[in-house]
Structure 1
Amino acid sequence: MKNFTKLTYVLFLLCANIFAQQEKGIVGNTNWLDNWTEFNPKQQSYREPTQIISGNITKDTRLSKRDTYLLVGSVFVTNNATLTIEPGTVVLADYNSKASLTVSKGAKIIAEGTETDPIVFSSNKSLKRAGDWGGIMLLGDAPLNKFGNGSVANLHDNLDASNYANVNYGGNDTISNSGVLKYVRIEYAGKRIKGAGYLNGLLLAGVGSETVLENIMVSYCAGDAFEVLGGEVTINKAVSYRTSSNDFVFNYGAQGYLKNSLAVRSPYISSSEGSRCLRVLSYDNKQEVDFSKNGTHVVAENLTFLNDSETLNSDIEKGLVSEAIYVGQETFLDINKSVISGFNPAVILDDRIRINQENLERIRFTNMYFNNCKGNIYVNNNSNNDDLENWYGNAAFFNVYSKSTNEETFIDIQNKRRPDYRLRINKIIATNLDSDVNGD
């Protein structure tokens, strides 16, 4: 009996250690990317549109799976209306009219797909490219740190004067609700607008905490995949795939929670303005910020940031690979249990951040897995990172450093239909454990 007790205790410790290793990067007992994601959307063919959506949606409206919709021009959901989209519905955005969908303050979108029946927003072109259309914008009345409120008027070509009130965002309602986006794919967005640059796949501006944002995939976007301006949002199980610009951006006092999410970058798809997995800023222009308000505060957990390069050293030498994370001054970032693989380097801090204990306690990296990066954490334009290495390399942070290829690191990234970006070691250990249990 005593030996059995000892054996049970040893197995308990082994299992605890196994599951502790499973915590880093995106996690799940099964591969939660299955069924609803699409990593090669060019292979998808959609039915010809049977309905047109244009102008303003001013009353509660429902889009059904039986129809395919063509989104034409700048479409606004206004007047406190709710746009409900059934699982499996396909919305194709018109390339020629630079189509976009904006959910204005007070209005809602309920786009709740399922794992086997996701909702898809894509381009109507036969040969689809990044930047074919404008993407989706959710505008709420949660706070931001600007003087006054914000506006996305410049993101719309030839904006009608009647819609000026529908492009504003920001307010005082932290818990406001802009609706639900769940099991949704957004493909080929990020249209370029003269004077405004590239639009985003999903823009969340002044969006409040009651908004549900889960299982959202943005692929082949010419602008940022996910951009959060102010507000308070939780984003869970988000995927950014081969985005030209940044994958996740938080700015203007955003209070953000990013969980169990994935960004896969290609060294051959990037923006001249810089392309990073995560960009955390408190402002673009210091003069427009009210410093009595909260700066940007991001808590992130279980992220996987991967540069999908087969010739990493060569791509770094050619200047095709940059850092995974950029942290601006006067921000707070707490990132935990995450994987950063194949970047140059892993993290860069704005060179206006003074390296002292006060600031480093605002920028936390704990339980991290830094793999195959050319350097880990640096200050911009400073090649001496000894202080940072000493700080974040302290055993108290539980950070791990490795040099493995992507194929060795992740379970199955070669599978074009159903890739699995969880850490490979988890699968090997779990399989061995399962076989032992079944054998008993």
Structure 2
Amino acid sequence: MKNLSNLKWIALFVAFAASAQQEKGIIGASNWLNNWTEFNPKKVEYNETNQILYGKITTNTTLFKKNTYLLQGPVYVTNGATLTIEAGTVIKGDNATNGALIITKGAKIMAEGTETDPIVFTSNSAQRKPGDWGGLVILGDAPINKFGGTASLNFEGDPSQTIYGGTNPTASSGVLRFLRVEFAGKKIKGYKDYNAVSLAAVGNKTVIENVMSSFSAGNAFEILGGDLAMKNMVTLRATGDDFRFSQGSQTKLDNSLAVRHSFSSGSTRARCLNVNSYEKKDEADFSKALTNVVATNCTLVNSTDDLNRDLASGLVKESVYVAESSGLTLKKSVISGFSPAVVLDDEIKPEAGGLKKIKLEEMYFNNCKGNIFVENTTNNEDLEDYYGNPQFANLYETTPNTEMFIAWEAKTPDYRVKIGKITASK
């Protein structure tokens, strides 16, 4: 009986330790990055294409794992059609014709991969690189805060097919699950740049989870308006922002990872989280919802191998940017290796209650050159005092990434924080 009692206490201790290990940053009883992610996509070989997709898909269509597909030019799923993609299917974007897949307003995509058989969108180039092809675009009829309630994305192609926005926050554009998008984000002179994944006015009945963007030349995920929840998202070495929110987006981001690198970031300031309410103030309808993001258990990390060198060279920028008239709640998350961790628009006036919409709670700030600043200022004592208040339970440390995370240098790394690195922090 005594041994049984001891075993129960041991089990409770193990469960508590596992829980404590997961308290900040990405969580999970095991490494949920295993099997479906790829941190060295240039080395992966895919089958040659044997099917071509082009023009418009106007009826319900299924793509099969047995085939490898090529997106020739912008391909539109339109007329309310549903595009179903089998687990394990590979789809390549054509570099020469600026291949892209655009799910138009009213249409759906059902892309349900599995942990061991993810769906992959990648480049058809022999030497794959960021910006080889367009990307994946999903357009819905949830609200946006631009005047008129609708807008169009000015990609190369047919602008009438890229209209988004409406009045239905509960709309469904389908499912994205266990899916990778590699080497997307093409820039086409005279037109809007593509992102790896663009989600415009997407409603909250859309399922988006376990999606990875790798080596995007644009933003990894651009969220324009809409009302959606995303979880288990992964970005790797985006040139643009990892997650960019605008046009009144109401987004919940949970248990997600952004891995940046000093040499991959664009020449302008590219952030892990870029929270804006509009691109142009005179186009915004302030009677409608302004952007509000709630991000929980996220890990935002700069993966450079020499942080001090990159800091001295000016290659490292902030991890999080919040523009005026925007809200961000960032909780139980890790920011590691940035300069500084968070920057607030200089139109945000902390002394006038400007921090009410910006909540940074139970955070783990690690190895950052400064933590929280208002843009274009060097004195942040008031902000440090405010967010350093014990009620926010924020922690500060200077631990190298190689020591902070469970498995840093591995084919499939484990970005969960080691328990000792949290409990020892101040």
With the length of structure 1 as denominator, give the TM-score of the two structures: 0.92
Distance 1:361 1:13 in 2: 38
Matched, 1:347 2:342: yes
Matches within 5 A, 1:52-131: 52-131=52-131
Percent sequence identity over matched residues? 51
2:141–2:169 CA contact under 8 A, matched in 1: yes
392, 417, 420: which one aligns with 1:423 = 417
2:334–2:363 CA contact under 8 A, matched in 1: yes
2:201–2:225 CA contact under 8 A, matched in 1: yes
2:404–2:421 CA contact under 8 A, matched in 1: no
Deviations 1:151-174 (A, max 9, x none): 444212xx2xxx443210000000
Aligned to 1:46: 46
Matched, 1:28 2:37: no
Relative to structure 1, the CA distance from residue 7 to residue 138 in structure 2 (aligned partners, 3 Å threshold; closer, same or farther) is closer
Count of matched residue positions in the alignment of Structure 1 and Structure 2: 422
Aligned CA RMSD, in angstroms, stands at 2.2
For residue 191 of structure 1, give the secondary structure of its aligned residue in structure 2: coil
Distance 1:382 1:40 in 2: 38
Relative to structure 1, the CA distance from residue 187 to residue 152 in structure 2 (aligned partners, 3 Å threshold; closer, same or farther) is farther
Compute the displacement of 1:50 (Å): 0.8
Relative to structure 1, the CA distance from residue 239 to residue 14 in structure 2 (aligned partners, 3 Å threshold; closer, same or farther) is closer
Compute the displacement of 1:361 (Å): 2.0
Distance 1:88 1:181 in 2: 13
Matches within 5 A, 1:315-330: 315-330=310-325
406, 412, 417: which one aligns with 2:407 = 412
Aligned to 1:297: 292
Compute the displacement of 1:295 (Å): 0.2
Deviates more, 1:271-280 or 1:394-403: 271-280
Compute the displacement of 1:358 (Å): 2.7
Distance 1:9 1:66 in 2: 51
Aligned to 2:366: 371
5+ long unaligned stretches in structure 2:
none
1:71–1:100 CA contact under 8 A, matched in 2: yes
Distance 1:289 1:298 in 2: 18
For residue 49 of structure 1, give the secondary structure of its aligned residue in structure 2: coil
Compute the displacement of 1:150 (Å): 4.0
Compute the displacement of 1:249 (Å): 0.6
- The letter of the residue matching 1:318 is S
For residue 359 of structure 1, give the secondary structure of its aligned residue in structure 2: coil
Compute the displacement of 1:193 (Å): 1.6
Compute the displacement of 1:275 (Å): 1.1
Matches within 5 A, 1:370-389: 370-389=365-384
Aligned to 1:256: 251
Compute the displacement of 1:271 (Å): 1.0
Aligned to 1:210: 205
1:50–1:68 CA contact under 8 A, matched in 2: yes
1:27–1:260 CA contact under 8 A, matched in 2: yes
Relative to structure 1, the CA distance from residue 328 to residue 428 in structure 2 (aligned partners, 3 Å threshold; closer, same or farther) is closer
Relative to structure 1, the CA distance from residue 124 to residue 15 in structure 2 (aligned partners, 3 Å threshold; closer, same or farther) is closer
Relative to structure 1, the CA distance from residue 331 to residue 290 in structure 2 (aligned partners, 3 Å threshold; closer, same or farther) is same
Distance 1:406 1:234 in 2: 29
Deviates more, 1:16-25 or 1:276-285: 16-25
Matches within 5 A, 1:302-313: 302-313=297-308
Deviates more, 1:311-320 or 1:188-197: 188-197
Aligned to 2:219: 224
Distance 1:59 1:182 in 2: 22
Relative to structure 1, the CA distance from residue 344 to residue 56 in structure 2 (aligned partners, 3 Å threshold; closer, same or farther) is same
Compute the displacement of 1:317 (Å): 1.1
With the length of structure 2 as denominator, give the TM-score of the two structures: 0.95
5+ long unaligned stretches in structure 1:
430-440
- The letter of the residue matching 1:189 is A
For residue 42 of structure 1, give the secondary structure of its aligned residue in structure 2: helix
